[in-house]
């Protein structure tokens, strides 16, 4: 009990010290001095660090068995605030979006916002375009990445490990560095304003997905390959009939990540697509933002509907998703 009281006292003292650092400029001004903007920023950052120390002391003092669940609930509430604001705004009138004080519950509830949002733009065409790009890209990444990962995990050839290191090194190369050269290549090939720049690269693999699948392949015992060889299986049969069924959780993870990346992709379609009839959902949402005004209620209504497939996919595949991230090994 005494230890907890001491920790609470330390937490309060440290919090008070953090407040001084947060408002160091005012404190120095009262003393007749003045801080430069750079020093003031540094002191503010130190104050943030000190505040974290204060929070740690406070949590240690009040720690109990239900505390992890309490922290998870509080974190969930904080994470849900933007989502709840989006839903609430989707039912509001445009004049009530940014009221001060804010309007928590829409008055009245305008269900017509959803209908009007999808009447403003041809979202049916945008949905078909997005589904087409996402499905082709997801299939291409699963096929190519599983094949390349199989080669790195199961086949022996000179320079295999060095090539794998080079592959991993490509993840450190920002996409912005290769954006212009890649655009020039696709424009030279005549692929501008087509879906090819958004789908064909998927069939050449992704370094992160190859790494993930390769690590999962490594958890499968080599004895399964050898037993299949003895039974007369070819390399393709070992890949397709022996190992692929064993890495379903990792494949599901790749599918979910690929679906999310392609469904939400904004920069790729913005660069390579020009015709309005070839726009994706992400570009369609951007159309609600004008130069001088934004239809926030319609934008949030459309965003809620566009986000719905992602939520459904996650809840359906969360079992495989969690297993794939954990890399749990082979079930005996």
pLDDT digits (tens, 9 = 90+) for 222-247: 888 889 898 888 989 999 888 998 88
Apex CA 147: angle with CA 141 and CA 151, to 5°?
A: 140
Averaged pLDDT of the chain: 81
Q: CA 129, CA 118: separation in Å to the nearest integer?
A: 16
Q: CA 21, CA 52: separation in Å to the nearest integer?
A: 13
Q: CA 302, CA 285: separation in Å to the nearest integer?
A: 7
Which of 47-51, 201-205, 284-288: highest mean pLDDT?
Answer: 201-205
Asked if residues 226 and 287 have their Cβ atoms less than 8 Å apart, the reply is no
Give tens-digit pLDDT for 26-44.
Answer: 666 666 666 666 676 776 6
Give tens-digit pLDDT for 63-78.
Answer: 666 666 766 777 787 7
Q: Over range 117-122, report the average pLDDT.
A: 83
Apex CA 236: angle with CA 261 and CA 151, to 5°?
A: 60
Q: CA 121, CA 74: separation in Å to the nearest integer?
A: 38
Q: CA 205, CA 138: separation in Å to the nearest integer?
A: 10
The tokens describing 282, both together, are: 């992400």
| Topology annotation, domain 116-326 | MetI-like fold (1.10.3720)
Q: Does residue 109 surpass a pLDDT of 60?
A: yes
Asked if residues 278 and 267 have their Cβ atoms less than 8 Å apart, the reply is no
Task: Indicate the pLDDT class of residue 317, thresholds 50, 70 and 90.
Answer: confident
Q: Does residue 158 surpass a pLDDT of 80?
A: yes
Q: CA 162, CA 81: separation in Å to the nearest integer?
A: 46
Asked if residues 128 and 278 have their Cβ atoms less than 8 Å apart, the reply is no
Selected residue with higher pLDDT from 289 and 250: 250
* Number of C-beta neighbours around residue 51 at 10 A: 17
Judging by beta carbons within 10 Å of its beta carbon (0-12, 13-18, 19+), is residue 30 exposed, middle or buried? exposed
Residues with Cβ < 8 Å from 43, sequence gap 6 or more?
21, 24, 35
Q: CA 181, CA 152: separation in Å to the nearest integer?
A: 28
Q: Does residue 325 surpass a pLDDT of 60?
A: no
Give the residues across from 64 on adjacent strands.
none
């Amino acid at each position: 009990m005494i230890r907890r009281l001491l920790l609470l006292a330390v937490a309060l003292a440290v919090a008070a010290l953090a407040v001084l650092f947060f408002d160091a400029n005012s404190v120095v001004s009262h003393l007749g001095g003045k801080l430069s903007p750079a020093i003031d920023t540094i002191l503010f950052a130190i104050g943030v660090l000190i505040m974290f120390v204060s929070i740690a002391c406070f949590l240690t003092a009040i720690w109990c068995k239900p505390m992890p669940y309490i922290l998870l609930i509080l974190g969930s509430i904080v994470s849900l605030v933007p989502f709840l604001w989006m839903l609430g705004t989707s039912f509001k009138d445009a004049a009530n979006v940014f009221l001060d004080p804010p309007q928590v519950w829409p008055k009245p509830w305008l269900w017509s916002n959803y209908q009007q949002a999808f009447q403003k733009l041809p979202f049916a065409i945008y949905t078909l375009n997005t589904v087409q790009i996402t499905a082709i890209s997801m299939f291409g990444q699963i096929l190519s990445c599983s094949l390349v990962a199989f080669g790195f995990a199961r086949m022996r050839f000179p320079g295999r490990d060095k090539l794998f290191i080079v592959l991993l090194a490509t993840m450190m190369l920002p996409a912005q560095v290769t954006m212009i050269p890649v655009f020039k290549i696709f424009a030279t090939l005549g692929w501008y304003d087509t879906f090819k720049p958004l789908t064909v690269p998927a069939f050449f693999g992704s370094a992160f997905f190859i790494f993930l699948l390769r690590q999962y392949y490594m958890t499968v015992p080599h004895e399964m390959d050898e037993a299949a060889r003895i039974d007369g299986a070819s390399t393709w049969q070992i890949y397709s009939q022996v190992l692929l069924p064993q890495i379903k959780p990792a494949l599901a993870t790749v599918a979910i990540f690929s679906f999310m990346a392609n469904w939400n992709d904004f920069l790729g379609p913005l660069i390579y697509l020009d015709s309005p009839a070839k726009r994706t959902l992400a570009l369609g949402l951007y159309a609600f933002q004008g130069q001088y005004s934004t239809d926030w209620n319609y934008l949030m209504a459309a965003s809620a509907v566009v986000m719905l497939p992602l939520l459904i996919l996650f809840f359906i595949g969360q079992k495989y998703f969690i297993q794939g991230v954990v890399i749990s090994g082979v079930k005996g």
